Amino acid sequence: MRVRILGLSEAPEFECKATLFATGNNVTLVGDMTRRAIVCQLDARMERPELRKFAFDPVERVLADRGTYVAAAITIARAYRMAGRPKVCPPIGSYGEWTDAVRAPLIWLGEADPVASMDALRGEDPELASIRELFAHWLEVMPVHAHHTAAQIIDVACKLDRDSGFEYPEFRDLIMRVAGDRGQASSKSLGKWLTKINGRVVDDKRLVMDSDAKRGNRYRLVVTTAARAPSKNAANPVRPPKGGGIRF
């Protein structure tokens, strides 16, 4: 980290070895934070958990015999190294040293994987849920691998139906959630969101952005596996309204 000294123009660089802790009720982590956090859930199953009574104070117990606990932690790490550091789990990107020093020794001892909560966090990530929903709607009503601008995607999602209002109400609801502006879908906001998730692989599918100097960025959905789910409209793609609109 580089931190500027108050009153001076100097910004010395130093190594940061810090762990951040946060508490909250039903905390939700979004995006890249899901792989940067480990979650511990406490459920007292009480209306007033702050009034719980305990037989001992865990902080006082550890402080009273701190050396024993520190020695136990060091013994675990050393025993794993003396055993030749057996590969018991794959490393996590940018957390290789932590995996080798903390995670792997615990798994080697037969304890639970500390990062098992990451899968649960990913499942609760609202951003990931929105991407999955977008890809599902795309496969259902839009040709795969075809190029679309943000405005064209909005035209499809907000296509009117003479009987029920909107032909794809759930698709429109998604677009309004990620790019709604004063009751209208904003192609600018949708473009920013699509650019943000460009290249991200979710369920063997990914969004690819192609720059176009004349007509703006264009987006296409790529299915990365051999088992490609056909679009129900692949043979009869959505046609633009008369006078312009969507081009495929």
pLDDT tens-place string over residues 85-118 = 999 998 887 888 889 999 999 999 999 998 888 8
- 86 and 109 inside one domain: yes
Residue at which a domain ends, from 91, 122, 153 = 122
> What one-character DSSP code corresponds to residue 33?
G
Q: Which two tokens stand for residue 2?
A: 């580089």
**What is the pLDDT confidence band of residue 120, given thresholds at 50, 70 and 90?**
confident
Predicted pLDDT of residue 225: 65
Whether residue 246 is contained in a domain is answered as no
Q: What average pLDDT does this structure show over 5-23?
A: 87
Complete edge-to-edge strand list for the sheet that includes strand 201-202:
201-202, 205-210, 218-223
* Mean pLDDT of the 236-245 span: 41
Confidence at residue 181, expressed as pLDDT on a 0 to 100 scale: 87
pLDDT of residue 16: 81
**Dist CA 196 CA 173 (whole Å):** 20
- In whole numbers, what is the pLDDT of the chain averaged over residues? 84
Q: Are 88 and 108 in contact (CB under 8 A)?
A: yes
Token couple for 227: 């088992």
Buried b (16+ CB within 10 A) or exposed e, 34-56: beeeeeeeeeeeeeeeeeeeeee
Count the Cβ atoms, other than its own, within 10 Å of residue 185: 20
Beta strands in the chain (DSSP E): 160-161, 165-166, 180-181, 184-185, 201-202, 205-210, 218-223
Q: Is the CB of residue 105 less than 8 Å from the CB of residue 77?
A: yes
199-220: average pLDDT: 85
Does a structural domain hold residue 241?
Answer: no
Rounded to an integer, what distance in angstroms lies between the CA atom of residue 53 and that of residue 149? 60
Q: Are residues 195 and 178 in the same domain?
A: yes
Whether residue 211 lies inside any domain: the answer is: yes
Q: Between residues 131 and 226, which one has the greater pLDDT?
A: 131
Highest mean pLDDT among 40-44, 77-81, 230-234: 77-81
pLDDT of residue 108: 96
**Same domain for 115 and 189:** no
Residue 26 belongs to some domain of the structure? no
Residue 185 domain-assigned (yes or no): yes
Which of 122, 153, 177 lies at the terminal end of a domain, its last residue? 122
Q: What digits encode the pLDDT tens for the residues 169-196? A: 899 999 999 999 888 899 999 999 999 8
Residue 47 lies in a domain: yes
Q: How far is CA 243 from CA 54, 214, 240, in A?
A: 73, 20, 8
Poorest-pLDDT segment among 76-80, 117-121, 194-198: 117-121
The whole-angstrom separation of Cα 96 and Cα 103 is 10
Do 130 and 114 belong to one domain?
A: no
- Identify whether residues 52 and 103 lie together within a single domain: yes
Characterize the bridge pairing of strands 201-202 and 165-166: unpaired
Q: Structural domain of residue 198, as residue ranges?
A: 126-223
Element (H, E) at 27: none
Considering the domain architecture, whether residues 106 and 130 belong to the same structural domain is answered as: no
pLDDT band at 164 (very low <50, low <70, confident <90, very high): low
Q: What is the mean pLDDT of residues 145-160?
A: 89
Query: Which has more confidence, 28 or 178?
Result: 178
Asked if residue 18 is part of any domain, the answer here is no
End position of a domain, from candidates 104, 122, 140: 122
Interacting residues of 216 by C-beta distance below 8 A, sequence separation 6+: 149, 150, 191
Which of 236-241's residues contact partners 24+ apart within 8 Å by CB, and which partners? 237/142, 237/143, 237/146, 238/141, 238/142, 238/156, 238/159, 240/155, 241/155
User: Is residue 7, in this structure, part of any structural domain at all?
Assistant: no
Name the pLDDT band for 25 (thresholds 50, 70, 90). Answer: confident
Q: How many domains are contained in the chain? A: 2
User: Which pTM was predicted?
Assistant: 0.59
Residue 31 and residue 41 in contact, taking contact as beta carbons nearer than 8 Å:
no
Residues 63 and 147 in one domain: no
